[in-house]
Homo-oligomer: A and B are copies of this chain.
Amino acid sequence: MTRAWAVGLDMGGTNIRSAAVSVAGDVLLIEHGPSLASRKAGDVADNIAAQTLHLLDTARRRGLGSPRAIGVAVPGPLNVHTGIVMQAPHVAAWRGYPLRDKLEELIGRKVVVDNDANAWALGEYWRGAARGRRDVVLLTLGTGVGGGLIVGGKLVHGLSGMAGELGHVTVNPDGPPCDCGSHGCLEAYASASGLRGLVEKRLGLAPGSPLPAQIVDSEKNFSVRGLSAQARRGDTLALEAFATAGHYLGIAIASFLNTFNPELVVIGGGVGGALPYMRKTMNAQVRARAFTAVAAQAKIVRAALGPQGGVVGAAYAALHPMTPP
């Protein structure tokens, strides 16, 4: 038996996930591969196309037939109408890169591209924590901070698809530098890189210095998982870092509540998993800064889908393409 389905592909800094997702949002088949993000622009695109063609082949062999549409989610702001990636944090070579046209040429089919945070937001809206909600603010707290906005049941794209960069609202004009070139952005606090900066500052270390063994992974890189484990043990350094991140997260959320009057704020990503350690300071800022009636209407909840959110949402974007302006 064949079911109508779409390809949802989610490209991260390290890995690619590609999936066959049914029109009801069920993952029928999923494959993984390296994203080769450090390669040349064309090689990265070749790799995405190859992963897609491999999935199409597997699907055919499993009797799924052909997909109805193909959706690809990539990091960084991009123009959803032209399919041109403006800049991608993990792919230095993608600056003004015509990704969609390139993929369509390589795959030989129409492709829909969108930002990875938007795709994840659509996934949570379709099948996750925001199911059935019409006004939702979604924040993914990972290496950086991504965002997605659902207003009146529709993803907000803005003029050219670069809306929803919620990690880059200013929460403290005098705050630390952000990878985007500004400073004091939400991302400079409530992300893995923000937390690393908070820890370094607290320990009086220069940026990039070696960190205590408890909060690095096997490759000596800063580990949010390690910091969370320390917080669970009651370690002051870890608890303070999360409290500060939560404080600024609360400032941003209060602004989002007054701006959108949403029904729900959904928080995902690896740092989102540490929400219990951020909640107290976050809630204090929301209470102090958002209109009471607005704050009373909005729940702040964890994301439901985990790592599959991106592929599900990329498939949703492909199945529900936006109309051009």
In A208-267, the 8 Å CB interface with B consists of 248, 251, 254-255, 258-263
Q: How many copies of this chain?
A: 2
Question: Secondary structure at chain A's binding surface: helix, strand, loop or mixed?
Answer: loop
In A161-194, the 8 Å CB interface with B consists of 161-166, 168-173, 180-182, 185
Number of interface residues of A (CB under 8 A): 51
A294 at the interface (CB under 8 A from B): yes
Would you call B159 and A151 a contact (CB within 8 A)?
no
A152 at the interface (CB under 8 A from B): yes
| A130 nearest CB across to chain B (Å) | 13
Look across to chain B and name the residue whose beta carbon is closest to the beta carbon of A133: B159
The residue from B86, B156, B165, B169 contacting A151, defined by CB atoms under 8 A apart: B156
Would you call B289 and A182 a contact (CB within 8 A)?
yes
| A26 nearest CB across to chain B (Å) | 28
Given the contacts A169-B259, A289-B182, A294 and B77 also touching, CB distance less than 8 Å: yes
Look across to chain B and name the residue whose beta carbon is closest to the beta carbon of A294: B162
Would you call B251 and A162 a contact (CB within 8 A)?
no
Given the contacts A135-B158, A162-B291, A182-B289, A169 and B261 also touching, CB distance less than 8 Å: no
A157 at the interface (CB under 8 A from B): yes
